[in-house]
Amino acid sequence: MAGIYFHIPFCKRICAYCDFARTADLRRMPEVVEAMHREMDARRGYLHDRRIRTLYFGGGTPSLLPPAEFDRFAEHAARLFDMSAAGECTVEANPDDLTAQYLRELSRTAVNRLSIGIQSFDDAALRFMNRRHTAAEAVDAVRRAQDAGFDNITVDLIFGIDGFGGEVLERNIGAVLALGVQHVSAYHLTVESGTAFGRRAARGELRTVDEQTSEREFLALHEALTAAGYEHYEVSNYALPGFRARHNSSYWSGDEYLGIGAGAHSFDGRSRRWAAPTVGEYLAGRGAGEETLSVADRRNEMIMTALRTADGLCQERFADAFGREAAERLAEAAQPWIRAGAMVSEGGKLRIPAEKFLVSDSVIESLFEVE
């Protein structure tokens, strides 16, 4: 089974932390949409498994598109691929795009899951991040989406922002629980060069939180969400039972996916392909790249993606894919972490306990092998 990702790289305003492929120049949106349809035709043979299970519109800000455009993409996909198993169609949305009229129209399309980028329920934090909505608008948008019949909604939150922990975090947790959404993604702020925050950090004008604060905030979120019945199924993701993100889960289980649009990535089981990140290069047909993954790359990728999930890495599946010896080497490399309490081995699986997810990158990287 496979998924298709559509990247809509347009945003009305650029958030201070954002390093995604995006532009605030909206004039080329119609041209890009048509180029994406042509790209779908050109790449109809990319996926070996043509059965599509999920469609995902990410960005950028897909909710800048009229709702009918999502159906046009879905119908086009149905002419090229086997969509008989398709069950999830997600659109990322900014709260201020979700008017009652927009939601009514959207509810009549193939879209059945909304990912609403809220990030915080605190107005000062939203201004700090240069978000274009207020906390009240975010709450209203979720309520309107629920009234319009959307019963599979995820919201994004950012934590680990200096000056916005403590009470702000408490308020964020309370607000998200009160909304009763089915899924929450909670990300620690990362300061990337090339972003407004990156430039401020380089000038010494932005402080980052220390490790203890990160851990405290993560655990506060984790405990509140799990106590409210959300399963923590991936480092940053929590879902009520039955509402795990199917599209994103397929990335973590190594399924194929086709990415359409500027900056979109694709994976066909053997190689990774990426489109040019800028709209200009994308429209000019330049800047795409591809790399064939070596056995070591694929092995390290399985380690990384599986250990980021709460289910962990199935050692039998690893041995089937990469051989008994590689599985034994992995089991041995995991031993020091198991003794240190940063990994658990049970039921034929290796996993990182939730309270250690914040340090999971160093654990995971230590298990990589080079060839």
Residues that bind ligand SF4 (CB under 6 A): 11, 14-15, 18, 20, 22, 59-61, 94, 117
Q: In this chain, which residue has its C-beta nearest to ligand SF4?
A: 18
Residue closer to ligand SF4 by CB (options 156, 301) is 156
Decide whether 61 or 109 has the Cβ nearer to ligand SF4. Answer: 61
Please, what is the minimum distance in Å from the beta carbon of residue 165 to ligand SF4? 21
Q: Token pair of 280, please?
A: 């200009």
CA–CA separation, 44 vs 49, rounded Å?
11
Q: Return the half-sphere exposure (C-beta side, CA atoms, 13 A cut-off) of residue 309.
A: 20
Q: Which residues of 53-89 are buried (b: 16+ CB within 10 A; e: fewer)?
A: bbbbbbbbbbbbbebebbbebbeebeebbebeebebb
Half-sphere exposure of 336 (CA within 13 A, CB side): 7
User: What pairing do the DSSP bridges indicate for beta strands 113-119 and 183-188?
Assistant: unpaired
Token output for 263: 């900056």
| Smallest distance, ligand SF4 to C-beta of residue 15, A | 3
Map residue 222 onto helix, strand or coil. helix
Q: Which residues lie closer than 8 Å to 52 by C-beta, 6 or more apart?
A: 1, 2, 3, 4, 77, 81, 82, 83, 85, 86
**DSSP one-letter code for 326:** H
Q: Provide the minimum distance between the beta carbon of 117 and ligand SF4 in the complex, in angstroms, as a whole number.
A: 6
Nearest approach, Cβ of 148 to ligand SF4 (angstroms)? 21
CB of 127 to ligand SF4, least distance (A): 14
Which residue, 137 or 256, is less far from ligand SF4 as judged by CB? Answer: 137
Output the smallest distance, CB 206 to ligand SF4, in A: 17
Query: 362: exposed, middle or buried (C-beta count within 10 Å: 0-12, 13-18, 19+)?
Result: exposed
Residue 127 identity: R
C-beta closer to ligand SF4: residue 67 or 263: 263
* CB of 22 vs ligand SF4, minimal distance in Å: 4
Nearer to ligand SF4, 245 or 334 (CB): 245
Q: Which is nearer to ligand SF4, 126 or 334 (CB)?
A: 126
| CA pair distance 46, 256, nearest whole angstrom | 10
